[in-house]
Amino acid sequence: MLATFALLALGLSTGADAASKRQGSVAKTSAKTKAKAKSVRTAKRKSVRTVVARPSFGELSGLRGTDDPLDLRSSVALVMDQDTHEVLIDKNAQAVLPIASLTKLMTSVVVVEAEQSLDEILTISQDDVDTEKGSGSRLAVGTQLTRGEMLHLALMSSENRAAHALGRHYPGGLTAFVSAMNARASLLGMTDTRYVEPTGLSSRNQSSARDLAALVSAAYQHPLIRELSTSQEYSVAVGRRTLQYRNTNGLVRNPAWDIGLQKTGYISEAGRCLVMQAQLAGRKLIMVFLDSAGKYSRLGDAERVRHWIEASPPPVVTPEVPRAEGPKTTS
């Protein structure tokens, strides 16, 4: 009997040891798995940190090295009186660069001048999904909004799918719409400008500050574009949900500004861009800023211009032309 109990106790002890070993093995495996997962997450974070943004066209062409008395962060700047066409600031205004979502200002001009019904229901399709940059959108395929709602979102919050849908629903389709954009630019004397699509996602949509000033002046003639581009917030009903959008230009919420029209833009090739019509010191001014470095630098440049304009009397600002270095000699 004692031998039987001894054998039983030995078996229980051996089983417990085996179970303990198994638990220890599982714990080690779990610890290794967690450590590996942590290592992968750390590697991903390091990978994200080391991603370097592609240089803009302005940076590649050396425009960011241009100095100016206001120390603007934009490679290109143009400020002119809307009524007299007097140029107050000209910094590389002749340079032709990608214009990103400033494109949507011409998109809106073509839509409004076509006099299509703003109440017609348009549907977002797979064709409107961005394959150029892979950007996302809260307007899922199948979303239905009126043309007026699409126009509002395209102008105020730079909604790419909305802008593309506007062009796709133009008489003759997208090809006819892009042709209309280029034809309108030609009529405005925008000889430096070319459009290939209605959103601005393509870096082949290019223009100069001088051309864009002409576009701002033309777009300003349409009260609807003025109203939609400067509204602070807008909500649309999508199925059972309500989507809330805000203006991409924070200056429209700043009481120090009297903005009559505006549009922002950004893709890496274009840098941060901004066009505005604003009233400062009793003057209606058109402002164009292209290839600005830094998320808020275009707004900072606009503030620098405002403070300069409101100074009494404002100094005369002319662009500084860098002196060419003579041939180097060796001794």
Active site residue 101: yes
Contact 106, 185 (CB under 8 A): yes
Please identify which of the residues 104, 217, 263, 292 carries the catalytic annotation.
104
Extract the tokens encoding 155. 């102008």
* DSSP category for residue 232: S
Contact 125, 141 (CB under 8 A): yes
Please identify which of the residues 75, 108, 157, 158 carries the catalytic annotation.
158
Contact 262, 275 (CB under 8 A): yes
Please calculate the CA angle 82-315-64 and round it to the nearest 5 degrees.
75
Please identify which of the residues 56, 75, 101, 217 carries the catalytic annotation.
101
Active site residue 207: no
Mention every residue, 6+ apart, whose C-beta is less than 8 A from residue 87: 78, 79, 80, 93
Alpha helices in the chain (DSSP H): 2-49, 57-60, 103-114, 147-156, 160-168, 173-187, 209-219, 223-230, 297-310
Is 133 buried (19+), middle (13-18) or exposed (0-12) by CB count in 10 A? middle
Residue (of 233, 219, 222, 314) closest to 275 by Cα position:
219
Contact 253, 262 (CB under 8 A): no
Contact 305, 287 (CB under 8 A): yes
Q: Could you give the CA distance from residue 107 to residue 220 in angstroms, rounded to a whole number?
A: 14
* Cβ-count burial 72-105 (b if 16+ within 10 Å, e if not): bbbbbbbbbebeeeeebbbbbbebbbbbbbbbbb
Active site residue 36: no
Catalytic residue numbers read: 101, 104, 158
